[in-house]
Homo-oligomer: A and B are copies of this chain.
Amino acid sequence: MDVQIDDERFERTVEAYSEIGGTENGGLHRLALTDSDKEARDTFVNDLEALDLDVSVDEVGNIFGRRDGAEDLAPVFIGSHLDSQPYGGRFDGQLGVLTALETLRTFDDHDIMTDRPVVIVNWTNEEGARFAPALLGSSAFTGRASVEETLSTPDEYEGTVTLEEELERIGYDGDRPCTAGDIHSYLELHIECGPELEANGNSIGIADAIYASTWLEVTVRGQSKHAGPTPMEDRQDAFAATSEAVRDILSIPDRLDDESVVTVGEVHVSPNKRNIIPGEVTFSIDFRSGSDTVVTEAKNEVERALTASCRNHGTEYDIAEIMAKDRTDFSSIVTDAIEDATNSFDYPYQYIESVAGHDAMPMNDIAESAMILVPSVGGECHSENEFTRMDDCLAGANVFANTTYTLATKR
């Protein structure tokens, strides 16, 4: 059977949610557990209750809405996240939650009773922009992270509060235990956040894997001195050492694997005064590759680059790995179902390895999982310029609804 999403209602839903924490440039500024995230969550819970779902919130604030199946089988989970990057876009995360919501509305429209229960979910703090690292809610849910540690995660964006305090403040410190139980499968739709689907003219990407990745935090220590009378040869300039190392680190993909990517996105210079030689610099490294081995080699290359630049500048360094994720290979049960649904609509598609991390990674530990990706115009992502054409959103939603139906049907 092919179910069809109600395109007008779907568009209205996306518009309505985009007003919550919407920016004047058409983006979203809705960081996890802020007032605007609370408003989005409240709207979401209302929408779930309007569908007569069994709504629950777990200890880390993940929100679930359960739609019963005809039989008492392990459920299908569908969803994504409502939190955004700072001044991010209106598609990253939200589109996956709203596609799942419209899928359940469409099932109601057509009085569809699935064999398996279907549970829609909004994961807490996927972005990691406020509480690092990313994927906190889904990681706690699947046992990758402890609930206790997750709750004590500090706000790194602007405050001194913890995730637990913010959950309590906005009333999303739920009482459902944060454990997964038996789950049949997990399906998530997300924007690609990269240029490949658009470049190839495809509306649907079937993600069958997610890149391995590491987040490193580097500290370079030199000495703060007056920028004037300290001769160049007497300096231990932490930013001079940093810029030399960064130039080297950013060329690692050229040397190891030209499909890997590396980013130095966050830099803090101390004391950060124009007439004082930097005494300390901390900076982040985000490295991703389709191969676990390349990630390991890249970490060695980072050590080598820092050893060389710190020797040249009389500085010292430390490296801390604050996140490490192995390559994820998704389930062919789910990717086959996506491919069948895509073919039944005749949408142009391709298989794709996601370089971005998603909640489907931890979910893949405990359930048959895969993802549907839709094109990002210009590859824009994590910025207010994010855009996905409504035709592509609808194509994704139609494939999503039918894949959900297939997964929820007993074989």
Contacts and interface: CB of A to CB of B under 8 A. Distances in A.
Nearest to A240: B250
A261 B383 contact: no
B267 A225 contact: no
Question: How many copies of the shown chain assemble into the complex?
Answer: 2
A273 B268 CA distance: 11
A332 interface: no
A272 B261 contact: no
Is chain A's binding surface mostly helix, strand, loop or mixed?
loop
A250 B278 CA distance: 13
A279 interface: yes
B261 A227 contact: yes
Interface residues of A, number: 69
Interface string A259-289: 1011111110101111111110000101010
29 contacts: A128-B275, A194-B226, A194-B230, A195-B231, A196-B229, A215-B275, A223-B383, A224-B383, A225-B379, A225-B381, A225-B382, A227-B265, A227-B288, A229-B354, A229-B356, A229-B379, A231-B259, A232-B254, A232-B258, A232-B262, A239-B264, A242-B243, A244-B247, A263-B277, A264-B278, A265-B273, A265-B278, A273-B382, A274-B284
Question: What 10 A-B pairs have minimum CB-CB distances, sorted nearest first?
Answer: A194-B229, A226-B381, A274-B284, A227-B263, A228-B356, A243-B246, A229-B355, A243-B243, A228-B355, A193-B226
